[in-house]
A and B are shown apart, each in its own frame.
Chain A
């Protein structure tokens, strides 16, 4: 039973930020052992269980404390997941296996970027995990664009009466610049902000063409695809712009700007 409580605490601690992990592990273990002595092992186990249940919230609040833009990074990735999954299902239904594979890759890339943002303690877009996620997103989105241009694939959101190509190319160039910024030193923040500006511009172009296409298309089936992509593009554009604005503090926080919650 004690081992189980220790295991539960270890699981709970995995979810809190690294710099607070040791403190919480010591605090919660001591609390658990004291409860076991005074109230019995069951109470101690119940406390450990409650800690595990509350740990995702504890971790989330502690990570995003004073860093509200982190909410936006996570929200941005989740927002992008919605049309990506929608288009992936469409590719599966229409038996476009390579396109479906590219969309699956895009989903994985977005999840990797979101998870690296979640654990980002030295700034966004700086770590290897973040760079890997961005590479996957870039490769998969470029593959989708090229397949749509060169191969006989069909995606109503990308085709439409006016092609969204200028928008998608803008986003991809922006992504490339953001990705490359990870390898830069002093100019990292400025380059990442430039990439985010390009992404915002690309997404606004995408959304504008999407709105026009929504009006111009003739069938409701095609209209749904634009209806899904336009709000997502606008939401992600605003997220990119927000991160760009908060850039220095978020992308490469100075040691004095880092949140030290417990002395």
Chain B
């Protein structure tokens, strides 16, 4: 089944990272640092994934006065998103594996 958006290399990178710890909440700066994505790529991708229901965003529940900082926005894979992302990444890996021998064969012949 096709994804509701284009599965670019950046989207795959983000999904792989999120799947690495699918049950935890993640925030923008952490993902930027870990994946090397740029903010101009990350936030629109968040929006696409959220629109497709693959991830959900929520505001952190903290006591602002005690922590002396505002609440962060966290993102987490939904159950649906986790299943879909795993399947989509597997499909992509399969396709890439199928293409590889052809390219090598073409080069060697």
Q: Which of B16-55 contact A (CB under 8 A)?
A: 27-29, 32, 38-44, 47-48, 50-51
Smallest CB gap from B43: residue in A = A58
- Residue of A26, A53, A62 near B44 (CB, 8 A) is A62
Contact A33 B70 (CB under 8 A): yes
Residues in B neighbouring A23, C-beta threshold 8 A = 73
Contact A31 B72 (CB under 8 A): yes
Measured CB to CB, the closest approach of chain A to B105, in angstroms, equals 36
The answer for the CA separation of A53 and B68 in the assembled complex, in Å, is: 28
Contact A58 B50 (CB under 8 A): no
Smallest CB gap from B27: residue in A = A31
Residues in B neighbouring A33, C-beta threshold 8 A = 69-70
A1 at the B interface (CB under 8 A): no
Chain A interface, >50% SS class: helix
The answer for the CA separation of A24 and B39 in the assembled complex, in Å, is: 12
Contact B28 A50 (CB under 8 A): no
- Mark each residue of chain A from 225 to 263: 1 if its CB lies under 8 Å from any CB of chain B, else 0: 000000000000000000000000000000000011111
- Interface residue range, chain A: 20 to 34
Known: A30-B72, A30-B73, A263-B50. A35 touches B29 (CB 8 A): yes
The answer for the CA separation of A51 and B37 in the assembled complex, in Å, is: 12
- Interface residue range, chain B: 20 to 34
The answer for the CA separation of A23 and B72 in the assembled complex, in Å, is: 11
Chain B interface, >50% SS class: helix
Spell out B's residues near A (CB within 8 Å).
27-29, 32, 38-44, 47-48, 50-51, 57, 68-73
A65 at the B interface (CB under 8 A): yes
List the 3 closest A-B pairs by CB distance, nearest first: A54-B40, A57-B40, A61-B44
Residues in A neighbouring B50, C-beta threshold 8 A = 261-263
Measured CB to CB, the closest approach of chain B to A64, in angstroms, equals 10
Can you list 25 A-B pairs with a CB-CB distance of less than 8 A? A23-B73, A24-B43, A26-B70, A27-B28, A29-B70, A30-B71, A30-B72, A34-B69, A34-B72, A37-B68, A50-B32, A50-B39, A53-B38, A54-B42, A55-B39, A56-B40, A57-B40, A57-B41, A57-B44, A61-B40, A61-B47, A62-B47, A65-B44, A260-B51, A261-B48
